Amino acid sequence: QSALTQPASVSGPPGQSITISCTGTTSDIGTYNFVSWYQQSPGKVPKLVIYDVHKRPSGVSNRFSGSKSGNTASLTISGLQTEDEADFFCASYTSDKIFVFGGGTKVTVL
């Protein structure tokens, strides 16, 4: 099972919106609505920010939103803040009944 494909980096100035893509296949993202996104700040544990494509866990800012089209999922961060600087990873359930992560995207606030 191959890893999901994410851009290495995405950046934007404070207040702007950015979108991170996560591309899989018909064996994972294209078939299942079990896409999740995780934020990991340096030296910290990953934190779940989106599950089931677009749902936010309690306590997660509504500036984070998720969507999916075909084999590609996306995470949008609106009103970018300096505290959003982190690595972001997508993950998906697959037809092999396992989970696969993306390689990660480094978000930089300019």
Residues from 32 through 91 that contact other proteins (CB under 8 A): 34, 36, 38, 45-48, 51-52, 55, 57-58, 87, 89, 91
Instruction: Give the contacts of 39 (CB within 8 A, at least 6 positions apart).
Output: 46, 47, 49, 84, 86, 87, 88
Residue 5 or 76: the one with the smaller Cβ distance to other proteins is: 5
| Pair of tokens at residue 84 | 């959003």
Q: How far is the CB of 31 from other proteins (least distance, A)?
A: 14
Query: Could you give the angle at the alpha carbon of 27 between the alpha carbons of 26 and 33, nearest 5°?
Result: 80
Residue numbers of the site for other proteins (CB under 8 A)? 1, 3, 34, 36, 38, 45-48, 51-52, 55, 57-58, 87, 89, 91, 93, 97-104
